[in-house]
Protein backbone atom coordinates (compact mmCIF):
# COMPACT_ATOMS: atom_id res chain seq x y z
CA UNK A 1 0.00 0.00 0.00
CA UNK A 2 1.53 3.30 -1.14
CA UNK A 3 0.49 6.90 -0.55
CA UNK A 4 -0.83 8.60 -3.67
CA UNK A 5 -2.14 11.96 -2.44
CA UNK A 6 -2.20 14.23 0.62
CA UNK A 7 -4.96 16.83 0.91
CA UNK A 8 -6.36 19.38 3.35
CA UNK A 9 -10.08 19.54 4.15
CA UNK A 10 -11.27 22.78 5.77
CA UNK A 11 -14.74 22.84 7.33
CA UNK A 12 -16.93 25.23 9.33
CA UNK A 13 -19.92 24.25 11.46
CA UNK A 14 -21.73 24.91 14.73
CA UNK A 15 -19.29 25.04 17.63
CA UNK A 16 -21.48 22.97 19.93
CA UNK A 17 -25.03 22.01 20.80
CA UNK A 18 -24.35 23.14 24.38
CA UNK A 19 -26.44 26.29 24.85
CA UNK A 20 -24.20 27.51 27.67
CA UNK A 21 -21.02 27.30 25.60
CA UNK A 22 -22.84 28.77 22.61
CA UNK A 23 -23.20 32.05 24.48
CA UNK A 24 -19.47 32.56 23.98
CA UNK A 25 -18.73 30.70 20.75
CA UNK A 26 -21.27 29.84 18.07
CA UNK A 27 -19.22 28.30 15.27
CA UNK A 28 -15.94 26.48 14.81
CA UNK A 29 -13.60 25.79 11.96
CA UNK A 30 -11.59 22.60 11.55
CA UNK A 31 -8.68 21.40 9.41
CA UNK A 32 -8.41 17.73 8.51
CA UNK A 33 -5.61 16.06 6.59
CA UNK A 34 -6.67 13.34 4.17
CA UNK A 35 -4.17 10.75 2.89
CA UNK A 36 -5.09 8.54 -0.08
CA UNK A 37 -3.49 5.27 -1.12
CA UNK A 38 -3.38 2.94 -4.10
CA UNK A 39 -5.15 0.31 -1.96
CA UNK A 40 -8.30 2.41 -1.72
CA UNK A 41 -7.84 3.16 1.98
CA UNK A 42 -7.95 6.77 3.23
CA UNK A 43 -6.46 8.08 6.48
CA UNK A 44 -7.67 11.16 8.33
CA UNK A 45 -6.11 13.32 11.00
CA UNK A 46 -6.78 16.78 12.45
CA UNK A 47 -4.61 19.70 13.50
CA UNK A 48 -5.78 22.13 16.17
CA UNK A 49 -4.42 24.95 13.98
CA UNK A 50 -7.63 24.49 12.03
CA UNK A 51 -9.61 25.88 14.96
CA UNK A 52 -7.54 29.06 15.14
CA UNK A 53 -5.99 29.76 11.72
CA UNK A 54 -7.41 27.28 9.20
CA UNK A 55 -6.34 29.31 6.16
CA UNK A 56 -2.68 28.59 6.98
CA UNK A 57 -2.98 24.80 6.99
CA UNK A 58 -3.21 23.89 3.27
CA UNK A 59 0.10 25.54 2.37
CA UNK A 60 1.92 23.71 5.17
CA UNK A 61 0.37 20.37 4.21
CA UNK A 62 1.39 20.95 0.58
CA UNK A 63 4.94 21.67 1.76
CA UNK A 64 5.22 18.25 3.44
CA UNK A 65 3.18 16.21 0.94
CA UNK A 66 6.09 15.31 -1.41
CA UNK A 67 7.86 13.62 1.50
CA UNK A 68 4.97 11.16 1.73
CA UNK A 69 3.97 10.52 -1.89
CA UNK A 70 4.98 6.99 -2.93
CA UNK A 71 5.79 5.93 0.64
CA UNK A 72 4.22 3.20 2.79
CA UNK A 73 3.09 3.47 6.41
CA UNK A 74 5.49 0.75 7.60
CA UNK A 75 7.69 3.22 9.51
CA UNK A 76 5.68 6.27 10.56
CA UNK A 77 8.34 7.58 13.00
CA UNK A 78 10.80 7.71 10.10
CA UNK A 79 8.32 9.60 7.92
CA UNK A 80 7.79 12.04 10.80
CA UNK A 81 11.55 12.52 11.17
CA UNK A 82 11.90 13.28 7.46
CA UNK A 83 9.13 15.89 7.54
CA UNK A 84 10.44 17.43 10.76
CA UNK A 85 13.96 17.65 9.38
CA UNK A 86 12.69 19.07 6.10
CA UNK A 87 11.02 21.92 7.99
CA UNK A 88 13.76 22.23 10.59
CA UNK A 89 14.19 25.99 10.14
CA UNK A 90 10.56 26.79 10.98
CA UNK A 91 8.62 23.80 12.34
CA UNK A 92 10.51 22.80 15.48
CA UNK A 93 7.73 24.41 17.54
CA UNK A 94 4.56 26.31 16.77
CA UNK A 95 2.24 26.09 13.81
CA UNK A 96 4.51 23.97 11.62
CA UNK A 97 4.82 21.07 14.04
CA UNK A 98 1.16 21.40 14.97
CA UNK A 99 0.13 20.82 11.34
CA UNK A 100 2.65 17.97 11.26
CA UNK A 101 0.63 16.49 14.15
CA UNK A 102 -2.44 16.21 11.93
CA UNK A 103 -0.47 14.68 9.07
CA UNK A 104 1.10 12.08 11.34
CA UNK A 105 -2.33 11.28 12.85
CA UNK A 106 -3.65 10.51 9.37
CA UNK A 107 -0.72 8.12 8.84
CA UNK A 108 -1.52 6.26 12.07
CA UNK A 109 -5.20 6.16 11.10
CA UNK A 110 -4.23 4.67 7.77
CA UNK A 111 -1.95 2.07 9.35
CA UNK A 112 -4.59 1.07 11.88
CA UNK A 113 -7.15 0.56 9.12
CA UNK A 114 -4.64 -1.38 7.03
CA UNK A 115 -3.88 -3.76 9.91
CA UNK A 116 -7.46 -3.80 11.26
CA UNK A 117 -6.57 -2.56 14.75
CA UNK A 118 -7.26 0.62 16.78
CA UNK A 119 -4.37 3.07 16.88
CA UNK A 120 -3.77 2.70 20.62
CA UNK A 121 -2.59 -0.87 19.91
CA UNK A 122 0.02 0.52 17.54
CA UNK A 123 1.20 2.98 20.21
CA UNK A 124 2.19 0.28 22.67
CA UNK A 125 -1.15 -1.06 23.85
CA UNK A 126 -3.67 -0.08 26.49
CA UNK A 127 -2.47 1.27 29.82
CA UNK A 128 -6.01 1.76 31.19
CA UNK A 129 -9.30 -0.11 31.10
CA UNK A 130 -11.22 3.17 31.27
CA UNK A 131 -10.48 6.85 31.87
CA UNK A 132 -12.43 9.45 33.81
CA UNK A 133 -13.89 12.23 31.64
CA UNK A 134 -14.83 15.80 32.44
CA UNK A 135 -17.12 18.17 30.60
CA UNK A 136 -15.19 21.16 29.36
CA UNK A 137 -17.59 23.92 30.28
CA UNK A 138 -15.90 27.02 28.90
CA UNK A 139 -16.94 30.20 30.72
CA UNK A 140 -18.78 30.40 34.02
CA UNK A 141 -22.23 31.46 32.87
CA UNK A 142 -23.75 33.95 35.33
CA UNK A 143 -25.89 34.66 37.30
CA UNK A 144 -25.28 31.79 39.70
CA UNK A 145 -28.59 30.07 39.00
CA UNK A 146 -27.60 29.85 35.35
CA UNK A 147 -24.26 28.38 36.42
CA UNK A 148 -26.14 25.79 38.46
CA UNK A 149 -28.29 24.93 35.45
CA UNK A 150 -25.10 24.49 33.40
CA UNK A 151 -23.64 22.05 35.92
CA UNK A 152 -26.93 20.13 36.19
CA UNK A 153 -26.92 19.82 32.42
CA UNK A 154 -23.43 18.30 32.35
CA UNK A 155 -24.26 15.86 35.11
CA UNK A 156 -27.41 14.85 33.22
CA UNK A 157 -25.20 13.93 30.24
CA UNK A 158 -23.39 11.38 32.41
CA UNK A 159 -20.28 13.35 33.40
CA UNK A 160 -18.83 13.00 36.89
CA UNK A 161 -16.70 16.11 36.57
CA UNK A 162 -16.65 19.47 34.84
CA UNK A 163 -14.41 22.48 34.28
CA UNK A 164 -15.51 26.10 34.55
CA UNK A 165 -13.74 29.30 33.61
CA UNK A 166 -12.43 31.85 36.08
CA UNK A 167 -14.49 35.02 36.35
CA UNK A 168 -17.91 35.11 34.73
CA UNK A 169 -19.69 35.43 31.42
CA UNK A 170 -23.16 36.70 30.67
CA UNK A 171 -25.00 37.26 27.42
CA UNK A 172 -25.54 40.88 28.43
CA UNK A 173 -22.08 41.82 29.75
CA UNK A 174 -19.66 39.38 28.14
CA UNK A 175 -16.56 38.19 30.01
CA UNK A 176 -15.43 39.61 33.33
CA UNK A 177 -12.57 38.57 35.61
CA UNK A 178 -11.23 40.36 38.69
CA UNK A 179 -7.59 41.40 38.51
CA UNK A 180 -6.76 42.33 42.10
CA UNK A 181 -5.71 39.60 44.57
CA UNK A 182 -8.49 40.03 47.13
CA UNK A 183 -11.28 40.54 44.59
CA UNK A 184 -10.20 37.59 42.43
CA UNK A 185 -9.81 35.33 45.46
CA UNK A 186 -13.21 36.27 46.89
CA UNK A 187 -14.98 35.80 43.56
CA UNK A 188 -13.59 32.33 42.84
CA UNK A 189 -14.09 31.15 46.43
CA UNK A 190 -17.71 32.32 46.40
CA UNK A 191 -18.28 30.49 43.10
CA UNK A 192 -16.87 27.23 44.42
CA UNK A 193 -18.72 27.58 47.71
CA UNK A 194 -21.94 27.83 45.73
CA UNK A 195 -21.01 24.83 43.53
CA UNK A 196 -20.05 22.60 46.45
CA UNK A 197 -23.10 23.65 48.49
CA UNK A 198 -25.39 22.83 45.58
CA UNK A 199 -23.71 19.67 44.21
CA UNK A 200 -21.65 18.29 47.07
CA UNK A 201 -18.25 16.62 47.05
CA UNK A 202 -19.16 13.68 44.84
CA UNK A 203 -18.23 15.42 41.59
CA UNK A 204 -14.84 16.50 40.32
CA UNK A 205 -14.48 20.25 39.79
CA UNK A 206 -11.81 22.09 37.83
CA UNK A 207 -11.26 25.79 37.16
CA UNK A 208 -9.55 27.33 34.13
CA UNK A 209 -7.92 30.74 34.38
CA UNK A 210 -7.48 31.11 30.58
CA UNK A 211 -4.66 33.43 31.52
CA UNK A 212 -2.77 33.19 28.28
CA UNK A 213 -5.95 34.26 26.62
CA UNK A 214 -7.80 36.44 29.11
CA UNK A 215 -10.03 39.04 27.48
CA UNK A 216 -9.81 41.14 30.63
CA UNK A 217 -7.34 41.23 33.50
CA UNK A 218 -4.40 38.83 33.44
CA UNK A 219 -3.25 37.47 36.79
CA UNK A 220 0.34 37.59 38.02
CA UNK A 221 1.88 35.30 40.64
CA UNK A 222 0.55 37.39 43.53
CA UNK A 223 -3.04 37.20 42.27
CA UNK A 224 -2.80 33.51 41.38
CA UNK A 225 -1.36 32.65 44.80
CA UNK A 226 -4.17 34.54 46.53
CA UNK A 227 -6.78 32.71 44.47
CA UNK A 228 -5.22 29.31 45.21
CA UNK A 229 -5.22 30.03 48.93
CA UNK A 230 -8.88 31.01 48.82
CA UNK A 231 -10.04 27.95 46.88
CA UNK A 232 -8.00 25.33 48.76
CA UNK A 233 -10.98 24.15 50.87
CA UNK A 234 -13.05 23.16 47.83
CA UNK A 235 -11.12 20.13 46.60
CA UNK A 236 -10.26 21.10 43.04
CA UNK A 237 -9.03 18.31 40.76
CA UNK A 238 -6.76 20.94 39.21
CA UNK A 239 -6.58 24.65 38.42
CA UNK A 240 -5.68 25.21 34.78
CA UNK A 241 -3.55 28.09 33.50
CA UNK A 242 -3.88 30.64 36.29
CA UNK A 243 -0.88 32.48 34.82
CA UNK A 244 0.20 33.70 31.35
CA UNK A 245 1.43 30.97 29.00
CA UNK A 246 4.93 32.36 28.73
CA UNK A 247 5.69 32.75 32.45
CA UNK A 248 7.20 29.33 33.16
CA UNK A 249 9.10 30.51 36.24
CA UNK A 250 5.94 31.77 37.94
CA UNK A 251 4.20 28.48 37.19
CA UNK A 252 7.03 26.61 38.90
CA UNK A 253 6.84 28.97 41.87
CA UNK A 254 3.08 28.60 42.14
CA UNK A 255 3.32 24.80 42.16
CA UNK A 256 5.50 25.10 45.27
CA UNK A 257 3.10 27.54 46.97
CA UNK A 258 -0.12 25.55 46.80
CA UNK A 259 -1.32 21.97 47.28
CA UNK A 260 -3.81 22.48 44.44
CA UNK A 261 -2.53 20.72 41.30
CA UNK A 262 -1.58 23.35 38.73
CA UNK A 263 -2.27 22.31 35.14
CA UNK A 264 -1.11 23.76 31.85
CA UNK A 265 0.59 23.28 28.52
CA UNK A 266 -2.25 23.12 26.02
CA UNK A 267 -0.50 25.63 23.75
CA UNK A 268 2.98 24.10 23.96
CA UNK A 269 4.23 22.30 20.88
CA UNK A 270 7.03 19.79 20.47
CA UNK A 271 9.03 18.00 23.14
CA UNK A 272 11.77 20.63 23.08
CA UNK A 273 9.35 23.40 24.09
CA UNK A 274 7.67 21.22 26.70
CA UNK A 275 11.06 20.31 28.19
CA UNK A 276 11.81 23.91 29.13
CA UNK A 277 8.69 23.84 31.33
CA UNK A 278 9.06 20.30 32.66
CA UNK A 279 12.73 20.78 33.61
CA UNK A 280 11.60 23.30 36.25
CA UNK A 281 8.40 21.43 37.24
CA UNK A 282 6.15 24.21 35.96
CA UNK A 283 3.07 21.95 36.01
CA UNK A 284 1.70 19.34 38.39
CA UNK A 285 -0.48 18.10 35.55
CA UNK A 286 0.58 18.52 31.92
CA UNK A 287 -2.05 19.06 29.23
CA UNK A 288 -0.64 18.06 25.85
CA UNK A 289 -3.06 17.94 22.93
CA UNK A 290 -2.65 15.10 20.43
CA UNK A 291 -3.90 17.36 17.65
CA UNK A 292 -1.41 20.10 18.47
CA UNK A 293 1.64 18.95 20.46
CA UNK A 294 3.73 17.65 17.55
CA UNK A 295 2.61 14.08 16.87
CA UNK A 296 1.78 10.91 18.73
CA UNK A 297 5.46 10.18 19.29
CA UNK A 298 5.99 13.64 20.75
CA UNK A 299 2.88 13.20 22.93
CA UNK A 300 4.32 9.98 24.36
CA UNK A 301 7.72 11.61 24.99
CA UNK A 302 6.01 14.46 26.85
CA UNK A 303 3.95 11.98 28.86
CA UNK A 304 7.07 9.98 29.70
CA UNK A 305 8.92 13.03 31.04
CA UNK A 306 5.89 14.00 33.12
CA UNK A 307 5.75 10.46 34.46
CA UNK A 308 9.46 10.40 35.29
CA UNK A 309 8.99 13.57 37.35
CA UNK A 310 5.94 12.19 39.16
CA UNK A 311 3.52 14.37 37.22
CA UNK A 312 0.15 13.43 35.78
CA UNK A 313 -1.43 14.13 32.41
CA UNK A 314 -4.85 15.48 31.45
CA UNK A 315 -5.45 15.74 27.72
CA UNK A 316 -6.45 19.07 26.27
CA UNK A 317 -9.09 18.73 23.58
CA UNK A 318 -10.99 21.56 21.93
CA UNK A 319 -10.60 20.62 18.30
CA UNK A 320 -13.27 18.74 16.33
CA UNK A 321 -13.92 14.99 16.08
CA UNK A 322 -10.46 14.06 14.82
CA UNK A 323 -8.81 15.86 17.72
CA UNK A 324 -11.15 14.11 20.14
CA UNK A 325 -10.24 10.62 18.96
CA UNK A 326 -6.53 11.41 18.63
CA UNK A 327 -6.44 12.46 22.27
CA UNK A 328 -8.44 9.44 23.40
CA UNK A 329 -6.08 6.98 21.68
CA UNK A 330 -2.97 8.74 22.99
CA UNK A 331 -4.38 9.02 26.52
CA UNK A 332 -4.96 5.27 26.68
CA UNK A 333 -1.40 4.59 25.49
CA UNK A 334 0.42 6.30 28.41
CA UNK A 335 0.34 5.29 32.11
CA UNK A 336 -0.07 8.68 33.81
CA UNK A 337 -3.29 9.94 32.23
CA UNK A 338 -5.54 11.17 35.05
CA UNK A 339 -8.56 12.51 33.19
CA UNK A 340 -9.81 13.38 29.68
CA UNK A 341 -11.24 16.69 28.51
CA UNK A 342 -14.43 16.02 26.56
CA UNK A 343 -16.60 18.62 24.79
CA UNK A 344 -20.15 18.02 26.09
CA UNK A 345 -23.13 17.74 23.76
CA UNK A 346 -20.94 18.28 20.74
CA UNK A 347 -22.25 19.25 17.31
CA UNK A 348 -21.83 17.79 13.82
CA UNK A 349 -18.11 18.31 13.32
CA UNK A 350 -17.73 15.94 16.25
CA UNK A 351 -20.73 13.61 16.17
CA UNK A 352 -20.75 12.96 12.43
CA UNK A 353 -16.97 12.51 12.28
CA UNK A 354 -16.63 10.03 15.18
CA UNK A 355 -19.92 8.17 14.78
CA UNK A 356 -20.03 5.33 17.32
CA UNK A 357 -16.26 5.24 17.88
CA UNK A 358 -16.37 7.41 21.00
CA UNK A 359 -17.97 5.63 23.97
CA UNK A 360 -18.49 7.07 27.46
CA UNK A 361 -20.21 5.01 30.16
CA UNK A 362 -20.94 6.13 33.72
CA UNK A 363 -18.62 9.10 33.31
CA UNK A 364 -15.69 7.05 31.99
CA UNK A 365 -14.37 6.86 28.43
CA UNK A 366 -13.84 3.32 27.15
CA UNK A 367 -10.99 2.28 24.82
CA UNK A 368 -11.95 2.70 21.14
CA UNK A 369 -12.44 -0.55 19.26
CA UNK A 370 -12.74 0.74 15.68
CA UNK A 371 -9.76 0.13 13.39
CA UNK A 372 -7.63 3.26 12.98
CA UNK A 373 -8.68 6.37 14.86
CA UNK A 374 -12.38 5.77 14.34
CA UNK A 375 -13.09 8.93 12.35
CA UNK A 376 -14.58 9.40 8.90
CA UNK A 377 -15.06 12.31 6.49
CA UNK A 378 -17.71 11.52 3.93
CA UNK A 379 -18.59 13.75 1.00
CA UNK A 380 -21.91 14.40 2.77
CA UNK A 381 -20.08 15.80 5.81
CA UNK A 382 -17.83 17.94 3.63
CA UNK A 383 -20.81 19.33 1.72
CA UNK A 384 -22.86 19.92 4.86
CA UNK A 385 -20.17 22.03 6.55
CA UNK A 386 -18.51 24.15 3.83
CA UNK A 387 -15.59 26.22 5.00
CA UNK A 388 -16.25 29.86 5.80
CA UNK A 389 -13.12 32.05 5.60
CA UNK A 390 -12.55 33.95 8.82
CA UNK A 391 -14.30 31.35 10.98
CA UNK A 392 -11.19 30.59 13.06
CA UNK A 393 -10.97 31.83 16.64
CA UNK A 394 -8.55 34.54 17.74
CA UNK A 395 -8.17 37.20 20.41
CA UNK A 396 -9.78 40.43 19.25
CA UNK A 397 -7.60 43.52 19.01
CA UNK A 398 -8.23 46.92 17.42
CA UNK A 399 -8.53 46.37 13.70
CA UNK A 400 -9.41 42.65 13.95
CA UNK A 401 -12.49 41.71 15.94
CA UNK A 402 -13.99 38.25 16.29
CA UNK A 403 -17.47 38.07 14.78
CA UNK A 404 -19.05 37.00 18.09
CA UNK A 405 -17.62 40.09 19.77
CA UNK A 406 -18.83 42.33 16.96
CA UNK A 407 -22.36 41.05 17.49
CA UNK A 408 -22.11 41.46 21.25
CA UNK A 409 -20.90 45.05 20.93
CA UNK A 410 -23.68 45.82 18.50
CA UNK A 411 -26.27 44.48 20.94
CA UNK A 412 -24.71 46.53 23.73
CA UNK A 413 -24.54 49.68 21.60
CA UNK A 414 -20.73 49.85 21.88
CA UNK A 415 -18.47 51.21 19.13
271 and 149 within one domain: yes
**pLDDT tens, 94-123?**
999 999 999 999 999 999 999 999 999 999
Per residue in 244-280, pLDDT tens?
989 999 999 999 999 999 999 999 999 999 999 999 9
pLDDT tens, residue by residue, 63-98: 999 999 999 999 999 999 999 999 999 999 999 999
d(CA 305, CA 286): 10
* pLDDT at site 402: 83
What is the spatial distance between Cα 369 and Cα 358, in angstroms, rounded to a whole number?
Answer: 9
Return the pLDDT at 174: 84
Distant-in-sequence, close-in-space partners of 148: CB < 8 Å, separation ≥ 6: 194, 198
Domain holding 145, by residue range, is: 121-365
Positions in the chain whose pLDDT score sits under 50: none
Average pLDDT, the chain: 95
**Does residue 251 lie within any of the structural domains?**
yes
pLDDT at 137 (0 to 100)? 82
| pLDDT for res 406 | 65
pLDDT at 173: 81
106, 172: one domain: no
Q: Would the pTM of this model clear 0.75, i.e. be above it?
A: yes
Residue 101 lies in a domain: yes
What's the CATH code of the domain at 95? 3.30.390.10
Predicted local confidence at residue 112, as pLDDT? 98
Contact 306, 313 (CB under 8 A): yes
164 and 291 share one domain: yes
When divided into structural domains, the chain yields a total of: 2
Instruction: Judge if 191 and 277 occupy the same domain.
Output: yes
pLDDT score at 333: 98
Amino acid sequence: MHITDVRTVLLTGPCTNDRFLREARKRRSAAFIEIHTDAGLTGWGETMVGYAFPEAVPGIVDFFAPVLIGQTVDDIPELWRRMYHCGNFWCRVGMGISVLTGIEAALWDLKGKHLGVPVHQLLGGLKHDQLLAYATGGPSNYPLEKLAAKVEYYLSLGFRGFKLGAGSHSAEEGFSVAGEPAAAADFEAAKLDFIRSRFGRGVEVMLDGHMGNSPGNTWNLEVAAAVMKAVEPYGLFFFEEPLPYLDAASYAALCKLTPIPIAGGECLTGFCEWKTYLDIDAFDIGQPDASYSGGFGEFQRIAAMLHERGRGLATHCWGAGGALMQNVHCAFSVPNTRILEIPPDYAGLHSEVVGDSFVMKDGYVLPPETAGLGIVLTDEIKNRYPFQPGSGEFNSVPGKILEEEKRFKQRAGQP
